[in-house]
Structure 1
Amino acid sequence: MKNINIKSVLLALTLIGTIVSCDSDYKEETPSIAGIAVANPNFSTLEGAAVQGGVVGVLSNSNPNDPSGHYTVFAPTNDAFARLGLVDAGTLGGLQNDFLTNTLLYHVSNGDLLASKIMNGGTSTSALGVDRRFISRGNDLYINGSKIILTDVNASNGTVHAIDKVMIATGVNIVESAILLKDAKVFKAPELTFLVQAVISSGLASVLADPDNNFTIYAPTDAAFKAAGFATLDDVKNAPQATLQAVLLNHAIVGGKFTSEQTSTTAVTAGGGTLTYSAFLNGTFTVKSNGIATPAKMVIPDIQCSNGIVHVIDTVLLP
């Protein structure tokens, strides 16, 4: 990998040091994937997630679904989990266990996928059954919107690559994904109640749920809707349908793109408006529409749905 930064080097050194220094009196056996997470402080949140999600046993043993007996895991670091506000077992408790288990499985695939075999434009099927795709951006390589910051850590039952963002896939369409958030089936504190109501009241639900349509959606949180003047759900319900359609279509770009794939500085919305992007920094960017003064920041980027990509943002992109 090119352009590995100092933080990545320190992570690599810590990994190597942890693996080889457990007992100086004898040669330590190569740890399992789960053992690497347990032994290394940079993966302590991943360890807690694996325990809560019930996958420790899976990642401790041989893979029965591959002739090699191996897995490849794209392992989010503690910093990756912290970007979602998940820093310890207490905050992990804010996630539904089924969602957590599926999220972890989304980071796992069968066999050994070494860095030398990872190519721009390639894909890899996860243990969840959903494909992830690889994107080159500058000198860096991404899996979906997550940068691969360390490669080819050898485990007794496979290979570990470290990544800088947790990958999320819902397995359902954009509308159903928003409903999962609203009904607290993903995070226990729902965030998109107002958005779901706007989609329903606007009459656009069938468009956004259509498997033949593929979108990038910028999804404002409930707090964002309130800040835009929709104080209650009734305000959304009673808004003119044409107004809601204009607002929502200003959050939709035809074609689903992860943050790592967005290289232009502007994009035309499904409603004919223009969005302007800031520079790509630390895996995200801000988004500005003509109707707002302050750009929207990303709260949760790169949520993969069956018909596109959703980025949760903190401001409504008014036309």
Structure 2
Amino acid sequence: MQFKFFSLLSLSFAATAFGQAVPDLVTLLGDTSELSGLLSLVSTFPEIVSALGAAENITVFAPDNRAFETFTKMYEARNITRESVAALLSYHVLNGSFPSTVLSKTPAFAPTYLGAFGEYPDFKNLTQGDSQVVKAVIEADKPYVYGGIGMRVSISDTDVRFTNGIVHIIDSLLAPPMSVSLTAEAANLTALTNALVVADLVSTVNHLNSITVFAPTDAAFDAIGSATANLTKEQLGEILTYHVVPSRAFSTDLEDGMEVETVNGNKLTITIEGADVYVNGAKVLMADVITNNGVVHVIDNVLNPNNTDDKPGNGTATDEPAFPGATPTGSATTSGALATATGSAGKMGMSSMLVVLIAGAFAIGMMA
């Protein structure tokens, strides 16, 4: 399944205009006072500076000093590895010149340099040839870029030119993508996280390459509490694997009437009604949460592999569950089979800690 990147409308955009001096990247960072924090960090990675200097037609999302101020203090206290920081920097560089003029209300997915300076499997676990991406979009007439865990970052200044590309200044660092299980945990999808543990599928879903996961909310699991209360591990696994498609499909790849095969062999049907997207009868509530091995779309119902003909109802988020006769039995996160999960959704290593620090710094910056 193919997905759409930014349209390369103007690779010549970053070319030097006749008679006009354009600085190289390091000079630009040095001449821009609000980017001194980025310059200080980049300067400790001469190999990256050299590689970017030799690259052509690149785009850099440059976090401003406010973004770095809180992060740097937290980063120094946590002893994050150089490898993780190199991955972080490479995730802010796009492989292509993408001026602001290509941004629109339709999400665009731009390939990054993540993986160009090392493997970094914690942040990029994709099929060979697939690039790790960021999502860029116009929302409420303002430009934004999304990294991992669905974290939205504002683009405060656009199209600052340097010799071999352009810079867009952003107000926070982009969080690199994490595993599916850690992303679900960060998104407070507690019932799904517990279900993966109960079904012993955490490692499986985290190690698949280039996948799409349709992730039900806690309320979706609550609504079918009676149907999941006495499931065996194998039965729960059948339900969960029906939510996983073995290819990466962003929202822009989904088409009305499309059928996609899931990991368990059964098919899902995509329906598009105006601005609303459905998978079988479940409505997509949040699309395009980028993970290290694909993408997650959050949905309002649990999909039933024994009810593949389930269709959208009245177009609201309150359609009947795909499990006929199922009733709520209290919170799925506090009672029933999914509340008895023991174990972990994933190891919080140094790379994951880096993402947590970025999210923490972002939250502190929002409160400032």
Task: Pick 1 or 2: higher relative contact order, CA cutoff 8 A, min separation 6.
Answer: 2
* Max Rg structure: 2
